[in-house]
Structure 1
Amino acid sequence: MNRRRPSLELAEQVAGKIGLSFSASRKEAVATAIERVMVRRRIGEGRSLLDRLGLDEYLTDDVISAVTVAETHFFRGPEQFELIRQTILPELLRRRSGGPPLRFWSLGCATGEEPYSLAVLCEEEGLLNDVRIDAADISRRVLAAAKAAEYGEWALRNTDPRLRQRYFTSCEGRFRLNERLRRQVDFAHLNLGTDALPAPEKRLADFDLILCRNVLVYLEASAVRRIARQLLACLSDGGWLLTAPTDPPLWKYAPFETSITPAGIVYRRIMAPDARKSPTACVAPVRRQTGDPAACVPRARARAAASRKTTGDDTAKAIARQIRSRFDLGEPLEAARLAARAIERHPLSAELHFLEGVSRMASGETDAATAALRRVAYLDGKLAAAQFFLGVCLKDSDPQAALRALENALSSCLSRSPREHVALMPEATAGHLAQRARREIATIRQHLGSEAG
C-alpha cells in the first residue's frame, strides 16, 4: 500500500476533529503516532481517517490514546502531595468545619494513579469519609483501566512499601487497590478541548482542589488560555489548583491568587475582594518548627529582602536578587526581560543566564529556555541545577540529550553531601535534586523503551 507519511496539516486536522490542540514541539510526534494508527487500522488516506473520527468510537479512542501521553504513577510529584497533606487539607478543613464533604478533581487522570493517590492520602489522614474525589480523562480506554484499579510494579515504584501492603492486594505480579478506596473515586469521560465548563448539572463545579498536572504542557497557548479561565470558574471560593512544574503558567490568563513554593506553582480562587491586596499569596509548603510568623515567606524572597541590607555584593549578584524577586512575585516574563538586559552587561554570569532560562521556561518559551540553559552549561558544566532544567526542557524534543543533561545533574549531586544546598537553587538540597533527576531519567528511559518496542 503506497501512502505518504501523514503531514503536520493532517495532524492538526485530526487534533481539531477530536477536540485537542498540541504545541508546535509535539506536532511531529503526533503525526508519527497518527501514521502508526493508520497502518494498524489499514486506513490508506487521511480523508478517510477524518471521516471516520467521531463516528467510530473505537477508532477515535485509538487515535486519542496514540496522541496523548498517559505516563503516570502513584504519588507522582511527591512534593505536591506533601503540600496537600500539610497545608491544603488543614486549611480546607478549617474553613469547611462541619460543612459538606470536600470535593477534589483529578483532570487528565489517565489510568487512575493520581486520584487513587489522593484517596490513599486522605485515608492515611483519617479524612476519607470527608472528601469526594472525581476524576476525568479524554480516553475511554484508560478510564476503563482506571476503574479496574489493577497495577503493575512500575506504577507503584514510588509508593511506600507500607502503603502498598496496606492498600493493595498482590496477585501474580499485579496489585489491586482495595474496594473501599476504589469506591471513593468517580471516573468520567471529559474532553477539555470541547466540553463546556463549569457544568454544575454534571457536578463539575465548586471543587475545593483541582489537580491538572502534565496536561497543559502539551497544548497550544490559545487552548491553555481558555482552560485556565474554565478551571478558575470550576473552583469554589478559596479553592486550590495544582499544575505540574513543566506546565505553562496560568496567572496571565485568569485572575488566580498565585504562590511559588518548593512544590511548584500553586493557584487559588480569591475568597474575597480584599484578597487582591497582594499579587502573590504566602503558602507554607511544609510544617515548620519555628514560631516565626515570617517563616511562610518564600525563601528566595526572604533572601532577597535580607540581602538588600548587605553591602559589598557585586553588581551581577544584586541584579540577580532583583530578578529572583520578580520571579517570586509571579512575573517570569519580567524576570526574563531583566535577565536578558543584565546579560548584556555581564555576559559571563552563569547565574544571570540560569535565571533567564528558568524564567523563559516558566513562561512556556521552551526553545529560549533551552538556549539560555545551554549557555550556563558552557560557562560551568558542573552546575547541577542548570543541567537538570536543561534536561527537563529537552525531554520531548531530544530525549537522548535530555538524558545526558539529567545524568550530569545526577552525577554532580551524588558527588556532594545529600544535605548540601545546590548552587543557583539554594532552596533545594543535592539529595532532593538527585531524586528529581532520577525520576525524570526513569520516565525518559521508559518512553524510549516503549518506542523501541
Structure 2
Amino acid sequence: MTPDAWTDPAYEAVAGWLQARTGLYFNPHRRHDAEAGIRRVMTKAGIDDVALCRQLLGSQRLPLDDFITELTVGETYFFRDPGQFEFIRHELLPQIRRRHGHDHAIRAWSAGCASGEEAYSLAILFEQEMVDQRFTILATDISRAALARARAASYGSWSLRGDDGMLADRYFRRGGDRLLLAERFRQKVNFEYLNLALDHYPSLASGAWGMDLILCRNVLIYFDRETGRRVMRALIDSLADGGVLIMGPSDPVYQEEGPHEIMVTPAGVFYRHERRPRSTLRGWAQKLEWPPEPPKPAPPASWDRKPAPPPDRDQAPPAAETADLLAQARAAAARGDHAKVIELTRRSRAADPHAAVLHLQALANSGDALEAEKLAGAAIAAHPLTAELHFLHAMLLIGLDRNEEAERALQRTLYLDRSLAVAHLALGSVLRRIGDLAGARRAYRRGRDLAAGKAADEAVPLSEGETAGRLTAAAKAQLALIGDDQGGRP
C-alpha cells in the first residue's frame, strides 16, 4: 500500500498539535483517514479552510474533544470480546482468591473506557461472581464528553447488541427509548480523566496503582512505537504483583523484558506482573497458576479484616544509617522494586516519616492496600503533623472505596497544609462520589486556583510529578463535567 501524503501542510500541523496533546499518531497510511476526520470536525464548526482550523485549535469553537471523537473509534458495547470476560470469570478471579483470600478488595482499571460499557461489564461480572462489595473499578478516558456519557449510564439497544436479553431485563430499567443501568453499578465505578500518553501513573493521587486487573483494549494502536512502549511499561508498573493486563486483539504485542510474563491465550495476549523468577509454563490456563502457598489457619468468625500486625520489635537504626537506607529505598522505588523498599524501610518507618511514606507506597503498589491502610494509622500516630502521611492515607482509603473516611483524612491533610492543590482536587473527587456536588465544586475551584498560581511546568507537591498546568486543566475538566455554577469564576 502506498503511503499517503498530506494534501495541505496545515493538516500536518493539526496532526502535530493533536499528537502533542493526546499521543495520537497518524502514520503515512492513516493520513487520508486523519484528514477526513479533521474535515468532519471543521464541518461541525462551520469552517471550510484548514488554515483557519489550525489557527482556532483548542478554542471553544474547535475543542480537543471533537477531534478525539472523530479520529478514534469509540465503538464499544457490554461484554465485548466475551472470551476475555470468561477468562476473567473462570481463570483470573479464582487465582486472585487463591492468592489473596476471599476478603481481598479486588482493584480493576478500564483504561480508555469510552462511554463506560466495559467498566460496567466488569461491575456486573463481579456481582455475578459474588465478589460482593470488595471491589473497586477505576475507569479513565481522554475524552471528557465520553466520561460524561459514561457517568450518565444511559444506553441504547446497540450497546447491548451482544446480549440475549438477560442483561437488559436484570440490570437496566427503561427510560423512554433508553436503557438506564441500575444505580448500584454506577456507584461502583469511578470515572476519571486520564491521558495515557502524557499523564503520570502508577499514581496514588489518580488511583491508578496496585491493580489486580487492567483492561486497555485497542488503545495502543493510536500511538507511535515509543509512546506505546512507554504506556505499556507504565500500565504493567500499575499492576499489583500477580495482576493481569488484558489488551485488545488489534494492539501490538509488547515483547520487552521486564517484571512481567506474556500469556498467549485463546482470548488474546495478556501480561501478568510477576517479580519472582519462575520457569515458563505451557498452556493458557496454567499461565495464571502461582506457586502453592502453605495453608493458612482459618480466622475466627468474628474477624472481618486481617488482624493488625504486631508492633515492630526491631530498634530503629541510627540516623546516619537511616539516611543511607532511605537513599537506597528511593533508588529501589525508582526502579519499581517494591519488595526491596519494604525491606529497607521496615525498621526506620516508625522513626522517620519519609521512610514511613516509602514503606506504605511500596506496600500499596505491591497490591496489599489493606495492610498499607492499617499501617498508615500507626505511621500517623507516630508522625501526626506530617501532611503527606495523612494524604497518603486518604489515597489508600479512596482505593478501598471508603470515601467518607477518605474525606476526613483529606480534611486533616488540609488542616495541616491548605496550600496542597492536589489534596483539594482529591477532596473534590471524593465529595463528588458521595454526592456533595457543591462541596466538590468548592474543592475543585480551590485546587484549580492554587495550581494556576504556579508556573505551568512546575511540579506540584505530592502529585507524583504532575505539573501545575496539567492539574489546572484537570480541575477545569472536572468542573465542566459536574457543572461549574459560577461559570469558572472562583
After TM superposition, give the deviation of residue 261 of structure 1 in Å. Answer: 0.9
Q: Which amino acid aligns with 2:217?
A: R
Map Cα deviations across residues 258-302 of structure 1 (whole Å, 9 max, x no partner): 111111111111141x23x32x66531899xxxxxxxxxxxxxxx
Q: Determine the structure 1 residue equivalent to 2:23.
A: 20
After TM superposition, give the deviation of residue 252 of structure 1 in Å. Answer: 2.8
2-side partners of 1:51 and 1:153: how far apart?
40
Please point out which of 152, 169, 175 is paired with 2:179: 175
Q: CA RMSD in A?
A: 2.5
2-side partners of 1:160 and 1:126: how far apart?
22
Please point out which of 260, 265, 268 is paired with 2:264: 260
Does residue 283 (structure 1) correspond to residue 284 (structure 2)? The answer is yes
TM-score by length of 2: 0.54
2-side partners of 1:76 and 1:244: how far apart?
10
Paired residues for 1:172-321 under 5 Å = 172-252=176-256, 254-272=258-276, 274-275=277-278, 277-278=279-280, 282-284=283-285
2-side partners of 1:8 and 1:255: how far apart?
40
Contact 2:151 2:186 in 1 (8 A): yes
Q: Determine the structure 1 residue equivalent to 2:90.
A: 86
The change in CA–CA distance for 1:85 and 1:6 in structure 2 (over 3 A counts) is farther
Q: Which amino acid aligns with 1:129?
A: Q
Paired residues for 1:396-435 under 5 Å = none
Q: Determine the structure 1 residue equivalent to 2:118.
A: 114
The change in CA–CA distance for 1:196 and 1:47 in structure 2 (over 3 A counts) is farther
2-side partners of 1:38 and 1:163: how far apart?
39
Please point out which of 137, 149, 162 is paired with 1:145: 149
Contact 1:140 1:189 in 2 (8 A): yes
Q: Which amino acid aligns with 1:284?
A: A
Contact 2:244 2:272 in 1 (8 A): yes
Does residue 41 (structure 1) correspond to residue 40 (structure 2)? The answer is no
Q: Determine the structure 1 residue equivalent to 2:74.
A: 70
Contact 1:109 1:137 in 2 (8 A): yes
The change in CA–CA distance for 1:109 and 1:176 in structure 2 (over 3 A counts) is same
After TM superposition, give the deviation of residue 45 of structure 1 in Å. Answer: 5.0
Q: Determine the structure 1 residue equivalent to 2:450.
A: none
Counting aligned pairs with the same residue, the percent is 39
The change in CA–CA distance for 1:185 and 1:8 in structure 2 (over 3 A counts) is same
Map Cα deviations across residues 66-85 of structure 1 (whole Å, 9 max, x no partner): 11110001000000000000
Q: Determine the structure 1 residue equivalent to 2:474.
A: none
2-side partners of 1:285 and 1:155: how far apart?
33
Q: Which amino acid aligns with 2:73?
A: V
TM-score by length of 1: 0.58
Map Cα deviations across residues 93-142 of structure 1 (whole Å, 9 max, x no partner): 22221554111000111110000000111111111412100101111111
The change in CA–CA distance for 1:285 and 1:121 in structure 2 (over 3 A counts) is farther
Structure 1 runs (4+) deviating above 6 angstroms are: none
After TM superposition, give the deviation of residue 39 of structure 1 in Å. Answer: 2.8
Secondary structure (helix, strand or coil) at the match of 2:77 reads coil
2-side partners of 1:88 and 1:204: how far apart?
19
Structure 1 gap ranges (5+): 288-453
2-side partners of 1:211 and 1:241: how far apart?
6
1-side partners of 2:99 and 2:56: how far apart?
50
Contact 2:11 2:50 in 1 (8 A): no
Contact 1:242 1:265 in 2 (8 A): yes
Q: Which amino acid aligns with 2:23?
A: L
Secondary structure (helix, strand or coil) at the match of 1:129 reads coil
Map Cα deviations across residues 411-441 of structure 1 (whole Å, 9 max, x no partner): xxxxxxxxxxxxxxxxxxxxxxxxxxxxxxx
Q: Which amino acid aligns with 1:113?
A: E
Q: Determine the structure 1 residue equivalent to 2:162.
A: 158
2-side partners of 1:209 and 1:217: how far apart?
20
Secondary structure (helix, strand or coil) at the match of 2:63 reads helix
1-side partners of 2:180 and 2:200: how far apart?
34
Contact 2:45 2:62 in 1 (8 A): no
Contact 1:111 1:146 in 2 (8 A): yes
1-side partners of 2:182 and 2:268: how far apart?
31
Structure 2 gap ranges (5+): 1-6, 289-490
2-side partners of 1:49 and 1:113: how far apart?
33
The change in CA–CA distance for 1:104 and 1:113 in structure 2 (over 3 A counts) is same
The change in CA–CA distance for 1:36 and 1:283 in structure 2 (over 3 A counts) is same
Paired residues for 1:385-400 under 5 Å = none
The change in CA–CA distance for 1:100 and 1:252 in structure 2 (over 3 A counts) is same
Map Cα deviations across residues 350-398 of structure 1 (whole Å, 9 max, x no partner): xxxxxxxxxxxxxxxxxxxxxxxxxxxxxxxxxxxxxxxxxxxxxxxxx
Contact 1:103 1:132 in 2 (8 A): yes
After TM superposition, give the deviation of residue 235 of structure 1 in Å. Answer: 0.7
Secondary structure (helix, strand or coil) at the match of 1:158 reads coil
Does residue 9 (structure 1) correspond to residue 19 (structure 2)? The answer is no
The change in CA–CA distance for 1:135 and 1:6 in structure 2 (over 3 A counts) is farther
* Greater percentage in helix: 1
Contact 1:153 1:175 in 2 (8 A): yes
Contact 1:26 1:218 in 2 (8 A): no
After TM superposition, give the deviation of residue 251 of structure 1 in Å. Answer: 2.4
After TM superposition, give the deviation of residue 54 of structure 1 in Å. Answer: 4.1
After TM superposition, give the deviation of residue 169 of structure 1 in Å. Answer: 0.6
The change in CA–CA distance for 1:139 and 1:253 in structure 2 (over 3 A counts) is farther
2-side partners of 1:238 and 1:165: how far apart?
36
The change in CA–CA distance for 1:168 and 1:222 in structure 2 (over 3 A counts) is same
